[in-house]
Amino acid sequence: MHRQRCRNGVNPARLTLGEPICEVIQWPIQGRVHEYRALLIFTKGQGVGGAAPNRVQRLQTAFGSPVAYAPGSPPAMESGLITPSALIRTGAAKRVTSAERPFLQNQLKFLQKTKPVLIIVGAYPNSKTNVFGGVIYNCMLLRTTKLYSLFSIYEFDITQKSIPPPHILIRFFFSVLRIIRFFFLLFVLSCSSRKPILVILFAALSFSFIEKSILSILCRLFGIKSAIYPLGCQLINDCYSLSILGLLIRLSMRAPNFLFSQGSIWSDFFLCFCSVPTNKIYLLPSWTATSALLTRAEIICSRVSAELEMPHYVYTGWLVEEKGLIVLLEAFKQFIRLGYYSRLSILGSGPLLDQMLSIINASHLANYVHVLGKLSHSDTLKFLASYADVFILPSFNEGIPNSLIEATSLGIPSIVTSVGCITDYYSSDSVAYAEPRSISSLLDAMIFCHAKNNRANLSRHGTLSAFTHFSTDSVVDNLVSFISAI
């Protein structure tokens, strides 16, 4: 059992790195003094949290799920110097109770590794690279979270060279180079006593998943646990349509220790098609409902709930047939002919652009439909927040699209198709659903959103769903808890 001592009676010069200690905090609440025990770990750094300024060492608070939350929070806790999750209520007693001891022992074992090492195999393009997508945004957003302060993270870049992807032989060549680089990274870290506790591998298409499975096999060779996180649902459709690919993916599923699932469609695929045991599957939805978006929802809700002469419908994304854009243009043409005068802005680029422009001109929609091209991610969000009255995404195939999460986080009423994992998180009160590939169903959803009361309800409930399921802080907290329990 590790020694536990009160910080006030400890000489810092006699402490060793990684030694766990405890700090008794007294805080008056409603006329009564409560005592708490903060679990800390002794590491190098600058003095904070009441430590002497000339002290070379610092006391770093623990993190993780507490046995019990404190009924009140001292200012130091609120400022982040001592977090509520690091406190354990002890009442008048100074000793750890038998019920608290297992938690303390597990927490101490984890904290003795100062800054545990993680490897994230994801997409980290430079500013000159003209590629985009869900993997890129999820990886870049993680950089702003507590994950990077709690762990020492190595980013392993697997950004594809272009959109659309290059020839299969070119992709194979760069894949081999990445596998070799990854092997040497694991070798160096393992030899330098910086062995990662987990490798998280983002995957998208089938070729990408097979590559990540090979990287997971390398992790097993070095005794390192790995988790593959597939985004989108194209891989599932490919496996059901191509038997050889399905066989390869089934074999690939044996490589990682864990599989992150965006929702029920992925969990069912892992369980039923790939025969993966349930203890390998961990539900991890997207974390793209940031506080910066959610704080603007109330103002935008007021704007979109007003009586609008010409509601503005907005699509953002890749211009390909699978996004349902031809269906959208046909439905919007009928929408205008029925007398529902509105505007449709399409933000994005892709191989379907020329065909869409031909349809717009042939249908005499040039005064109502505007293709604005691809904007940067920040400019897209500004456009949505300033001009969009209804967000529309008529895809034939999706996982859980970041564009939908961002739109609902902003309080923008949304029309989506009932595909992928969307129905796991959004009820019919949160978004207006349309059947995929159905012009009439999409038209009905657009007519529904033309009424201001319906837009107001969708705005409020959509924001609540985004906050409940995709809040950046809460999802990353769950991820941290998962990693700390390994």
pTM of the model: 0.75
pLDDT score recorded for residue 242:
85
pLDDT score recorded for residue 146:
86
pLDDT score recorded for residue 207:
79
Q: Is 227 buried (19+), middle (13-18) or exposed (0-12) by CB count in 10 A?
A: buried
Q: Count Cβ neighbours within 10 Å for each residue of 366-402 and write b for 16 or more, e otherwise.
A: eebbebeebeeeeebbebbbeebbbbbbbbbbbbbbb
pLDDT score recorded for residue 401:
92
Cis peptide before 196 (omega within 30 of 0): no
pLDDT score recorded for residue 109:
53
Q: Assign a CATH topology to domain 117-287+473-484.
A: Rossmann fold (3.40.50)
pLDDT along the chain (486 residues), means of 10: 37 44 47 49 36 28 31 33 36 42 55 72 78 81 87 86 74 90 93 88 85 94 94 84 87 92 92 92 94 91 90 94 95 94 93 94 93 90 94 93 95 95 94 96 95 94 95 92 87
pLDDT score recorded for residue 50:
33
- The residue ranges of DSSP E strands in 256-362, in sequence order, are 258-261, 281-283, 312-316, 343-347
Give every CB contact of residue 197 below 8 A, 6+ residues apart in sequence.
Answer: 113, 116, 117, 118, 224, 225, 483, 486
pLDDT score recorded for residue 115:
73
Work out the mean pLDDT of the chain and round it to a whole number: 79
- CA separation for the pair 253, 209 (Å, rounded): 9
Residues carrying CATH 3.40.50.2000, the chain: 117-287+473-484, 291-470
User: What is the CA angle 58-64-67, rounded to 5?
Assistant: 110
pLDDT score recorded for residue 151:
85
CB atoms within 10 A of CB 13: 8
- CA terminus-to-terminus distance, the chain: 21
CB atoms within 10 A of CB 272: 9
Would you call 353 helix, strand, or coil by DSSP? helix
CB atoms within 10 A of CB 349: 18
Per-residue model confidence as pLDDT tens digits over 100-131: 556 555 555 554 445 788 999 998 887 666 66
Would you call 192 helix, strand, or coil by DSSP? coil
- CA separation for the pair 245, 202 (Å, rounded): 19
Going by their DSSP bridges, the two strands 226-230 and 258-261 should be labelled as: parallel
pLDDT score recorded for residue 16:
45
CATH of 291-470, one of 3.40.50.970, 3.40.50.300, 3.40.50.2000, 3.50.50.60: 3.40.50.2000
